Amino acid sequence: MREARIRKTKTVCTYCGVGCAFDVWTKDRHILKVEPQMEAPVNQISTCVKGKFGWDFVNSPDRLTKPLVRKGDRFVEVSWDEALDVIERRIKDIQAQHGYDAVAFISSSKATNEENYLMQKLARAVMHTNNIDNCSRYCQSPATEALRRTMGLGGDTGSIKDLELADLVLIVGANPAEAHPVLSTRLRRAQKKRGQKHIVADVRRNIMATRADLFIQPRQGTDLVWLSAVTKYIIDQGRHDEAFLRDRVNGFDEYVKSLEKFTLDYASEVCGLRKEEIIRVAEMIMEAERVAVCWAMGVTQHRGGSDTSTAICNLLLVTGNVARPGTGAYPLRGHNNVQGAGDMGCAPPFLPGYERVDNEAQRRKWEKLWGVELPTTPGLNNHQMVDAIHEGKLKAMYLCGEDMAVVDSNANYVEDAFRKLEFFVVQDVFLSKTAQFADVVLPAAPSLEKEGTFTNTERRIQRLYRVLDPLGDSKPDWEIIQMVANRFGANWHYSSPREIFEEMASAADLFRGASYDRLEGYQSLQWPVLPDGTDTPLLYTDGFAFPDKKARLYPVDWTPPIEVGEEYDLELNNGRLLEHFHEGNMTSRVPGIHEKVPETFVEISPELAKERGVTDGALVRLVSPYGSIKVRVTVTDRVSGKHVYVPLLSHADEEAVNRLTSSDHDTVTYTPAYKEMRVRMEVI
Ligand code: SF4
């Protein structure tokens, strides 16, 4: 009998955008322990509960180990060849009948850079469509848009280290203590050791709020207003950074005019804040030498998500808090590789490195590399794809590693769209809720079973190595994508992720000097990477990414929250839990984690509980105009008044929070307005 061998292999966590790296000790398929190393650039000696204990799902009996093909209302296991036959036949038929753009692709922000690169290459170079997107559409696209509008590039402007160096960190609509735990540990350390100050602005008294020096609770969806009032107040006091604005920023005078309406009185009334609170925020910013702002879905998942993110960038520019150590803009990426999926071109208008499909010179470069003519107009994003299915324009979808039926907004509408698809391929680790709608399900390997690179929230590219062999007949996504592409005549011969990465870096200017050798072991690179391998931890020290090197102040206005009718009297909020990743497809299959948090719940305030006669643990039904869910009550002062909170976690259909959310979206990027919904509560 073969003796089990103990191995130690470096990997990168797949549970959030912080990008913790660590060694995983294994004996055969048993995960013995996770051991962070001092060389790890982000986490060094720590991980959070998910990073440390969240891996036993790789041996779950629920893992997909064979391709599945639908026969009537059930799936049957088939060989890879049989599954690929079906995909080839059905997609060729649909494209012959309805054109190339009748097919769409959604890539995965959990997959590697190499896999995302191949997915968009499959869509564009093989299937001749720019209908390709990824789940950054659900989260940080508005922040990326704001950064591009004002500074030129869509990435965080500095590093997590800069967040530690800041004298003041303003945290808006984010809860790093649960969603980005190691980052929050580093902020906590800076608070204790250096006296770093924290302002938290959130509708919910989250863990960060309990540790903050100042906590403000604006009304849901009003962040743009108080942020603009703070900026106006600073300018009115003459405390803006005149030299920075003169030398490095365009559009100051026009921007000042746009702020006229954002008086303290107006902001106080709209946001439900006291004027003193708004002034105190401004004073703390004026008093600090180095200010950084973190924000997340509480800002972006509104109809005005791009504009509120822009208001944050404007505030930073007006106060000169960009392009210096300890300052900057930090939209915190949720998935481990949401940054990388966009970087690799998994978005309708962008080729790898944010080069555009409608820029002839840039497109021609990729056509030359790939030896094909590429489609020239941007395709559909995730949101538009769902509408296009309902309209009968989109007939087939190929989706990789995203449980869209649970995590997209207005889940009932999304499910109806899936039922209307003529052909649906899902590539995933488990038979997710979404996969249950598919015609073909392809068994993919999770991160521990493959090599590649991830890019974290601070634009840091890191390598992961294969800890375990793929289970059964499952395969890394890049191998599956290559097999599919070759069925359509691609003739690809990649033998490893290294080859894929080299091809990408040979053409994408942002990554010219990045290579597997420079990323060996615990080494990492933050893009842009110059041809000589020099990387860029802090952006814009030599000027902003516009032709004249100057940033642009960008006037924005407030979009009031959606009105849905008086009977829906409670404000619904949603978000992540410390223990679980998103809907829980992976973490719920880790016994220790599942036992700790086995079901979702709704947080309601003590005053609401009293008013409705509801006690802790009671079952209630939440109802919106779009659907209803049944959840158990947790009475807590984390929420107040008529504000209720439901985590994303959902094991059962009837507890998925997105049965309540609408198809409303950010007007610029189409990110769903998940945080703008009202519900009513019925006691069961
Ligand atoms: Fe993983 Fe994020 Fe936790 Fe780090 S902080 S261990 S990346 S979930």
Check which CATH number belongs to the domain holding 163 and give it.
3.40.228.10
Q: In sequence order, what are the beta bridge partners of 343?
A: none
What stretches in the chain show pLDDT beneath 70? 1-4, 653
Strands of the 132-133 sheet, one edge to the other: 74-77, 68-71, 440-443, 423-428, 396-400, 103-106, 132-133
Check which CATH number belongs to the domain holding 43 and give it.
2.20.25.90
Tokens of 131: 């209908």
Q: Ligand 1, residues 50, 185, 337: which to mutate, most atoms within 8 A of Cβ?
A: 50
| 205 lies in the same domain as 228 | yes
> Is residue 112 a part of any domain in this protein?
yes
> Which of 332, 355, 384 lies at the terminal end of a domain, its last residue?
332
> Is residue 679 a part of any domain in this protein?
yes
Strands of the 452-455 sheet, one edge to the other: 452-455, 460-464, 524-526
| 208 lies in the same domain as 267 | yes
**What pLDDT, on the 0 to 100 scale, is given for residue 140?**
86
Query: pLDDT (tens digit, 9 = 90+) per residue, 547-563?
Result: 999 999 999 999 998 88
> Is residue 575 a part of any domain in this protein?
yes
- What stretches of 166-241 show up as alpha helix (H) in DSSP? 176-179, 181-194, 207-210, 223-236
> Is residue 539 a part of any domain in this protein?
no
> Is residue 547 a part of any domain in this protein?
no
Domain count of the chain? 4
For residue 43 and ligand 1, the question of a CB distance below 6 A is answered with yes
Query: pLDDT (tens digit, 9 = 90+) per residue, 478-504?
Result: 999 999 999 999 999 999 999 999 999
DSSP H or E run through 406: helix 404-407
Atom of ligand 1 nearest to the CA of 15: 8
| 247 lies in the same domain as 346 | no
| 522 lies in the same domain as 408 | yes
ipTM: 0.99
**What pLDDT, on the 0 to 100 scale, is given for residue 653?**
66
**What pLDDT, on the 0 to 100 scale, is given for residue 648?**
86
Query: What secondary structure does DSSP assign to 471-522, as a single string?
Result: STT-B-HHHHHHHHHHHTT------SHHHHHHHHHHH-GGGTT--TGGGSTT
| 237 lies in the same domain as 328 | yes
| 83 lies in the same domain as 164 | no
For the full predicted model, state whether its pTM sits above 0.90: yes
Atom of ligand 1 nearest to the CA of 183: 5
In three-state secondary structure terms, 89 is helix
| 155 lies in the same domain as 132 | no
| 176 lies in the same domain as 310 | yes
| 174 lies in the same domain as 323 | yes
Q: How far is residue 663 CA from its own chain's centroid?
A: 18
- CA angle, corner 99, sides to 96 and 105, nearest 5? 110
> Is residue 554 a part of any domain in this protein?
no
Tokens of 357: 């499909």
| 378 lies in the same domain as 453 | yes
For residue 20 and ligand 1, the question of a CB distance below 6 A is answered with yes
> Which of 332, 367, 385 lies at the terminal end of a domain, its last residue?
332
Q: In sequence order, what are the beta bridge partners of 510?
A: none
What residues make up the domain containing 631?
570-683
Question: Residue with structure tokens 């998925």?
Answer: 656
| 171 lies in the same domain as 198 | yes
In three-state secondary structure terms, 574 is strand
- For ligand 1, the distance from its centroid to the CA atom of residue 20, given in whole angstroms, is 5
CA dihedral defined by 514, 520, 521, 523, rounded to 10 degrees? -40
Angstrom distance (rounded) from CA 638 to CA 210: 9
| 113 lies in the same domain as 146 | no
Residue 646 in contact with residue 674, Cβ under 8 Å?
A: no
